[in-house]
Structure 1
Amino acid sequence: MKRAILGPDHLLPAPSVPPPWPGREVHLDGSVTYVRDTPATGPDAEPALYVHGLGGSSQNWTDLAGLLAERLDGQAIDLPGFGRSEPGQRYTIPSFAQRVVRWIEHSDRGPVHLFGNSLGGSVSVHVAALRPDLVRTLTLVSPALPFLDFRRSLQGRMLPLLAVPRGERLAAWRLAQLAPEVMAQQVMESCVADLTRISDQRRQEALEEIRVRYEAEHYAAAYVRTFRGLVASFLRAYLPGSGSLWRLAAAVRAPTLVVGGRQDRLVDVRVAPQTARVIPDSRLMLLDGVGHVAQLEVPRLVARAVLGLLAETDGVGTALERPDMAG
């Protein structure tokens, strides 16, 4: 593990708040996967794929994908049951990873620069470990890799729900009790350390995403079943066997950037440094005053760290800056 380096800010576009990138429905293995495209603005851009976290969607990558469009021809997918993708049959890390693999194969764009936030981070680690031929570099933002002290996560309050028969119905009932505006505010407060960094446009888009969830009958079940699958993967990580996410992380060979926020309220803040220690070719950037979704809260800083990763893999990293906030 080493500290991340930052690419020059002037290589990024001028600050702006782009609208969500256009999306499309793709029929893949008998169901619809929703994909957003961020067209490349540079002639030599390489393919990238962005994978969101639990309860998120492809819109979580709007700013970062736009900032990196000179270097990366981006696509962001909605995992089964989330965003505008149809529900899946299973909601486990391996099943999500298989969908990501199938999309890369279907789109014939691999190997890609793979990005994952939270749940998407654990999914991306699974893909990078088992299908190294499909991954050029790996960027993990607050990856939800295993930890056992759920007092360090706001989502620990959901654990009793997993023991309730038909907990999905209870979750759906709870969802119906909250106005979309209240739910959107609660989600934002749990994910973001400094809400002043989030523009009015992004807040409005988050509200519209919440309304989409309210209209999707499958959403509560998808959320609860995915959380159950994530917790199960955490427990298996500390047992013998090849399915451990930590063992998979140790098998990753792609150059990797790990970004963590010191004010993360959803994933134990010790996970990002541990992830960087386990993955052999890794760089770590820990950010003070940043929460669970650094790509939303400080997208420009994350984009500069990605440029640093790309420069290193191109063999020109020595001229770049190693920031003090990198751990």
Structure 2
Amino acid sequence: MSAQLNYQTQGVGEDVVLVHGLFGDLDNLKGLAQTLESEYRVTRIDVPNHGQSPHWDTMDYPSLAQSLVSLLDELGATKAHLIGHSMGGKIVLATALLHPDRVASVVAADIAPVPYAPRHQRVFAALTSLPLDGSVERKEALNHLLARGVDEATAQFLLKSFRRAESGFSWRMNLDGLIASYEGIIGWPFNNGAYDGPTLFIRGDESDYVTAEHKDAILSQFPNVQLKSIGGAGHWLHAQKPGIFNRLVKNFLDSQHPELHG
């Protein structure tokens, strides 16, 4: 499997890598990149099987962590601050556990280092049942997803990966690869070990992805941790409350070098 990721880099300074969640792409955290670029070199990636990055038949957290390390090598970066949302949060947490010498700090947005129960079957069923032969245009595709129980915000988000092909339409993401890897994506293969570098977990207080029952798992694996909640935000906290989210992340990064960031 190729590890060469599609990415975009902006700004100058210490390296920061932003990693999106399931079904997303490198534009998901663009607002955060714009907040950080005046003081950091920010790289946004397409995770394998998403956007314009390589398609893998299967993906797991050790392999995804290695793809981030390979990216750092390509960028000439000894270390980077890693920031990820949802599945991207698990990718950066896994990288911190497996390659701590390459990680300056880690931020996980609305995800915990634990296995989760399946919760995307309805989305997968809606996506796989959508005709791609050209008989369904974007508006009909939206109606198809809504009729199969996908909420409108999620449906609009998914359709960012719906694109016209030579004949009909296709998904930019590798749907087959994601389905084949889904058990690993919602799982968490690390039962011991810890990363003792600076770590920030940010949750939306209306989300059920990070709850009080996850606190022990967080503290045992990431003992040097800060925990923050954003009121009135759900799982898409970076999109719902971007001002607060971006400020929390920047303050956390800046606090590690107060002499540089005033």
TM-score with structure 2 setting the length: 0.79
Shift in Å at residue 49 of structure 1?
0.5
Match of 1:223 among 143, 167, 178: 178
Q: Shift of residue 90 of structure 1?
A: 2.7
224, 228, 251: which one aligns with 1:281:
224
Indicate how the Cα distance of structure 1 residues 218 and 68 shifts in structure 2: closer, same or farther if over 3 A, else same.
closer
User: Does the C-alpha gap of structure 1 residues 110 and 188 become closer, same or farther in structure 2, counting only changes over 3 Å?
Assistant: farther
For residues 161 and 172 of structure 2, the distance between their equivalents in structure 1, rounded to whole angstroms, comes to 14
Higher normalized contact order (CA 8 Å, seq sep 6+, divided by chain length): 1
Root mean square deviation, CA, Å: 3.3
2:53 maps to which residue?
85
The one-letter amino acid of 1:122's match is: K
Aligned partner (choices 205, 213, 223) of residue 262 of structure 1: 205
- Residue deviations 1:168-189 (CA, integer Å, cap 9, x gap): xx67632438844344994663
Q: Deviations over 1:102-121 (max 9, x none)?
A: 11112212311111111111
Structure 1 match to 2:131: 176
1:155 paired residue among 116, 120, 123:
120
Q: How many residues align?
A: 247
Distance change >3 Å, CA 315–CA 61, structure 1 → 2: same
Unmatched tracts of structure 1, length 5 or more: 1-28, 162-169, 192-202, 237-242, 320-327
Say if 1:305 and 1:131 are closer, same or farther in 2 by CA, change over 3 A: same
**Alignment partners' CA distance in 1, 2:244 and 2:173:** 36
| Cross-structure match for 2:195 | 252
Partner-residue secondary structure (3-state), 2:81: strand
Is the CA contact 1:254–1:281 (under 8 Å) kept in the aligned structure 2? yes
Q: Quickly say closer, same or farther: Cα 1:190–1:215, change in 2 above 3 A.
A: closer
> 8 Å contact 2:52–2:172 — kept in the other structure?
no
**Counterpart Cα distance in 2 of 1:111 and 1:173:** 39
The residue aligned with 1:35 is 7
Who is 1:109 aligned against?
A: 77
Does 301-310 or 112-121 show the bigger shift? 301-310
Cα pair 2:58 2:178 within 8 Å, conserved: no
Q: Distance in 1 between matches of 2:172 and 2:14?
A: 37
The TM-score, its normalising length taken from structure 1, stands at 0.65
Tell me if structure 1 keeps the 8 A contact 2:7–2:46.
yes
Q: Is the 8 Å Cα contact of residues 154 and 190 (structure 1) preserved in structure 2?
A: no
* Aligned pairs for 1:133-148 within 5 A: 133-148=101-116
Give the aligned partner of residue 292 of structure 1: 235
Kindly indicate whether residue 36 of structure 2 is the aligned counterpart of residue 68 of structure 1. yes
Q: Deviations over 1:187-225 (max 9, x none)?
A: 66359xxxxxxxxxxx6x864334379524872212212
Identity of aligned residues (%): 21
Contact 2:162 2:172 in 1 (8 A): no
The structure carrying a bigger helix percent of its residues is 1
5+ residue gaps, structure 2: none
Per the alignment, residue 164 of structure 1 pairs with none
Distance change in 2, residues 1:39/1:272 (3 Å):
farther
Structure 1 residues 105 and 188 mapped into 2: Cα distance closer, same or farther (>3 Å)?
farther
Distance across 1 between alignment mates of 2:213 and 2:163: 32
